[in-house]
Homo-oligomer: A and B are copies of this chain.
Amino acid sequence: MSEKAFQDYYQDHFSHCYGCGRLNEHGLHIKSFWDGEESICIFHPKPYHTAIPGYVYGGLIASIIDCHCTGTAAAATYRAESREMDTEPSVRFLTASLHVDYLRPTPLGVPLEIRAKVKEIKRRKVVIAALLSAQGTVCARGEVVAVHVPEHLMSKGTSQDLTRAKRRRK
């Protein structure tokens, strides 16, 4: 397994994500790593991440799959270009679509393992397929279509960042 999480390579500007940003103090801090040709994420839901008592909330499952797959899309792009994730130009993805099939209720109180594979990698989009398991049993199956973050958001920051920067200058 790779040592440093994909998300820990993200620039500060992209590290505020509620799902996986290291700078979001309220967030889930989802971390993804390579494990051979697959990427892997181990996630420990909190006791309050419940659907019906004893089972994991489906929205959390969707969130983990989403961040793990967009992270995998970025990592796979660097890998396809034979370069490290801390090299320029930097690459980040947004989710264009997310699909989750909930195959069975996911038990709460055990670590969840999410494994993802690249289904398709093209210039404009990357498709990632994921399986989420608990105690060796697959509980959910996901697919994410990830697209590159538009250039103006990559290079200039968002309007909110610019507003903040302008305020600081005053």
Contact = CB atoms under 8 A, between A and B. Distances in A.
B105 A97 contact: no
A154 B81 CA distance: 52
Interface in A82-123: 94-102, 105, 108
A25 interface: yes
Interface string A3-37: 00000000001101111010011111000000000
A25 B48 CA distance: 8
A57 B149 CA distance: 14
A63 interface: yes
Contact of A58 (B13, B24, B66): B66
| Best-surrounded residue of A18, A27, A101 (most CB of chain B within 10 A) | A18
Interface string A50-68: 1111110111101110110
A90 to B, nearest CB: 13
Given A18-B57, A158-B55, A50 B62 contact: no
A96 B21 CA distance: 29
A24 B48 contact: yes
Interface of A: 13-14, 16-19, 21, 24-28, 46, 48-55, 57-60, 62-64, 66-67, 94-102, 105, 108, 149, 153, 157-161
